[in-house]
Amino acid sequence: MSKIAVVTGAGSGIGRAAALALLEAGWSVALAGRRAEALEATVAAAGGGADRCLPVATDVGDAASVAGLFAAVKQKWGRLDLLFNNAGRGSPSVDFDELTHEDWFGVVAANLNGAFLCAQEAYRIMKHQDPVGGRIINNGSISAHAPRPGSAPYTATKHAITGLTKSISLDGRKWDIACSQIDIGNAATEMTDRMTKGVPQANGTSMVEPRMDARHVGNAVVQIANLPLDTNVQFMTIMATKMPFVGRG
């Protein structure tokens, strides 16, 4: 039997790339995302791996919806080996005092509450299954290290993901639950299309930024996922080589 993974935000971008890479590597994958039609597009892109997909429309910010996702996984496969906590969103780039409460709470719900809810459900399954254990990989982002201008909600949540990753890593030791964080910079997805036209920099200018193929992120997820549980990549940064991150600000 193949190993079992849950990938959130699997309907597009990095989530789709990771899901397809896992399927190509022989995993069975539950595809979670808000839009059922986008998840079905990922299934279609899986080709011969489509029969190892379980698309489940999920709002990661809603506890009941998340519980339903993991219940479906347990019912179909009986266990869980990997969660890639990838779903998230940003907000408009505005000056701090112009940030709406709606945008703040929306980003926190998706990026932080969603990561917590999914990790907790995955942890419960991994703790009580036989053999015990599993792996959780959190999508941290370059913003877990350095902010962009006008990005307070996204940056704050990605810094919080680092604390969540460390806490899960510590608490999960006795149950053989490993936890990693991948900090991703400028993967070519719909979310980063704006970078091809120029994005604000810390010095007040705007510049076009290099991007990288999101498939490389998917391959990185597979690399970590296939490690034995006594080995962990605690933190990984994968980024477009020439993006303005090192020295940013």
Token readout for 83 is 């969660």
Which is the catalytic residue, given 84, 116, 154, 245? Answer: 154
pLDDT at 188 over 80: no
More confident residue, 69 or 213: 69
* Dist CA 122 CA 160 (whole Å): 19
Share of residues in the chain with pLDDT > 90 (%): 78
**pLDDT at position 196, please?**
73
Please tell me the predicted confidence (pLDDT) of residue 48.
Answer: 93
Instruction: Out of 41-45, 69-73, 85-89, 189-193, pick the least confident.
Output: 189-193
**pLDDT of 26 above 90:** yes
- Taking residues 117-145, report their average pLDDT: 96
When the pLDDT of each residue in the chain is averaged and rounded to a whole number, the result is 93
Look up 154 and say whether it is catalytic.
yes
Preceding omega of 153 cis (within 30 degrees of 0) = no
User: For residue 248, is pLDDT > 80?
Assistant: no
Q: CA 25 to CA 97: how far, in whole Å?
A: 47
Sheet of 53-57: strand order equals 53-57, 28-33, 4-8, 82-85, 134-139, 177-185, 235-239
